[in-house]
Structure 1
Amino acid sequence: MASTSAVAERIGVIPSALSPTRQSLIEKGIIYAERRGYVSFNVPNMDRFVVRQVHLDD
């Protein structure tokens, strides 16, 4: 689970800028709204996969 504000800070945007992307990821079934202001991945270990992809660019 991650807060929307933490995700926004990590990628360097304001939290409201994430709204369209957040909604799109929810509609695609990739994430879900755990509770207000927080999201989680639907796929187990997806967070690890994403981190590995980021490190491939290094």
Structure 2
Amino acid sequence: MTTTDDALRGTVALATGASGGIGRATALTPAGRGAAVAITARRAERLTEPAARV
């Protein structure tokens, strides 16, 4: 997640369960490579930090 490149620029990803664990990593990885990422979770209040990073 520390590497930033444009490999996924112009693509869109959807990550479910993005408030923690594997879902969070699934959201942040493509975002770090340039994708636009939509995130969802059961606990919306826990999406604040991941949302700021995607």
Structure number with greater CO (CA < 8 Å, separation at least 6) is 2
Larger helix fraction of residues: 1
Q: TM-score if structure 1 supplies the norm length? A: 0.23
Q: TM-score if structure 2 supplies the norm length? A: 0.24
Larger Rg: 1
